[in-house]
Amino acid sequence: VARRTTTAGTDYASYLLIDDLLDLQRPLTPGAPDEMLFIVMHQAYELWFKLLLWELTRARDELLGGRAHGAVAPLARVHRVEELLLAQLGVMETMSPDGFMQFRDPLAPASGFQSLQFREIEALSGRLDPTHLTSAVLGSEQRERLRARLAEPTLWNAFCACARSAGLDMPEGDASAAHAARLQALVTLYRTHGADATLSTLHHVAEQLVDHDEAIGRWRFHHGLLAAREIGTRHGTGGSMGVGYLRTTVDTRFFPELWEVRTAL
Ligand code: HEM
């Protein structure tokens, strides 16, 4: 058998575009040593957000195809990345408030408030505050991309579809009868998941969705504390009330029925 001749391939810097990547950190304020951290932190977050969207989309598509087992690996990765994102906040907290004040004003109105990928994660997961579609915080192209995301099935839609294909009564819709039917089906799932392999996998995925929901909730809470220690009660660079606004987001849940089922068991 003739051996295939290998071509030269690539190298680390070319494959990963390292020169481009390392050229993207451009502090605005000379002599503010913490600005490099601030930029690298946000860029690292956006890269992980990109992977989260990738894996959440894979999980969603597996569920839509009725393959609960196919969602397990991407959701496990999502969970590990989110643990990393939480730990990353501790790196940001090594910056003291005076260090932040040295470079904060010139970067306004830039803020995580304008992170399109964060909003896409919320939309894909199933809970986006609709005001983001109309407010001028995002640009018109970004709002268009968000609208396209909202037109896609959410993770929750996909989970319900997968549960239906496994024989559970999980109707769509906001009507109270549909809600009651879903809750009853979830009670059945949570009480009988040990009985067979399909229910067991579906239950595992439901708990992984709760992991995702809880991780983002913990991130919201911890990020609010980070903001409080950096800026006190100042307004945010994005123009919101600051910490007061962030507090209103802490109880957002992507999958409220997966929390509700606990009380009904
Ligand atoms: C010095 C550090 C930080 C401070 C003081 C801070 C502060 C704030 C404040 C006050 C808001 C509310 C919107 C506004 O008016 O700006 C906000 C929103 C946000 N920030 Fe940060 N932040 C910091 C670091 C980060 C980092 C490292 C990330 C990572 C991507 C991040 C992501 C976000 C996101 C996604 C929102 C929108 C939250 C929502 O609307 O639910 N922030 N931040």
Q: Is the pLDDT of residue 241 over 70?
A: yes
Decide: 230 in ligand 1 pocket, CB within 6 A: yes
What angle separates helix 197-231 from helix 176-192, to the nearest 10 degrees? 110
Q: Specify the higher pLDDT residue, 132 or 2.
A: 132
Identify the residue whose C-alpha is closest to ligand 1 atom 26: 42
Least reliable range by pLDDT among 16-20, 26-30, 102-106, 236-240: 236-240
The residue contributing the CA closest to ligand 1 atom 33 is: 112
CA Rg value for the chain: 22
Q: Which residues of 164-181 are buried (b: 16+ CB within 10 A; e: fewer)?
A: ebbebebeeeeeeeeeeb
Are 139 and 237 contacting, i.e. CB atoms less than 8 angstroms apart? Answer: no
For ligand 1, is residue 88 a contact (CB within 6 Å)? Answer: no
pLDDT at 153 over 80: yes
Ligand 1 touching residue 231 (CB < 6 A) = yes
Whether 236 lines ligand 1, by a CB cut-off of 6 Å, is: yes
- Ligand 1 pocket member 92 (CB < 6 A): yes
* Token representation of residue 64: 């839509």
**Whose alpha carbon is nearest atom 29 of ligand 1?**
42
Q: What is the pLDDT of residue 4?
A: 62
Nearest CA owner, ligand 1 atom 4: 227
pLDDT computed for residue 160 by the predictor: 98
| Residue 179 scores a pLDDT above 90 | yes
User: Is the minimum distance from the CB of 48 to ligand 1 under 6 angstroms?
Assistant: no
Residues 154-178 have a mean pLDDT of 97
Give nearest CA residue, ligand 1 atom 23.
227
**pLDDT tens digit string along 249-259?**
999 999 999 99
Percent of residues, the chain, with pLDDT higher than 90: 93
Query: Is 100 touching ligand 1 by the criterion CB < 6 Å?
Result: yes
How confident is the model over 155-177, as a mean pLDDT? 96
Question: What sign results for the dihedral spanned by CA atoms 217, 223, 224, 226?
Answer: positive
Closest CA relative to residue 183, chosen from 252, 263, 254, 124: 263
Count other Cβ atoms within 10 Å, centred on residue 209: 22
Ligand 1 atom at shortest distance from the alpha carbon of 45:
30
Predicted confidence at residue 8, as pLDDT, reads: 75
**pLDDT tens readout for residues 1-53:** 556 666 678 999 999 999 999 999 999 999 999 999 999 999 999 999 999 99
Answer with the residue of higher pLDDT: 4 or 227. Answer: 227
Report DSSP state, residue 138.
S
Distance of CA 113 from the midpoint of ligand 1 (Å): 6
Name residue 12's amino acid. Answer: Y
Mean pLDDT of the chain, nearest integer: 95
